Amino acid sequence: MTEEEMRKRLESLRIEHRDLDAAIDALTAAGSTDQLQIARLKKRKLRLKDQIALIEDALLPDIIA
């Protein structure tokens, strides 16, 4: 995967993460009683966060202090 492809993937993951956050907030604010659905969305959001961190680590060069 090229650096440009990684940056595009990173941006799409960030957008999806933001959208999931909004969906979770909306369900919570609406008083949704479907805790299973909210838990699944939160789990997906955490997986996205992990993927974002992996790509960011790959894009940033290691700095030796």
User: For the segment 37-46, what is each residue's pLDDT rounded down to a tens digit?
Assistant: 999 999 999 9
How much is the average pLDDT of 12-25?
97
- Which DSSP string corresponds to the chain? --HHHHHHHHHHHHHHHHHHHHHHHHHHHTT---HHHHHHHHHHHHHHHHHHHHHHHHHSPP---
User: pTM (2 decimals)?
Assistant: 0.84
Domain range annotation of the chain: 3-59
Which of 5-9, 10-14, 44-48, 57-61 shows the lowest mean pLDDT across its residues?
57-61
Q: Is the pLDDT of residue 65 over 70?
A: no
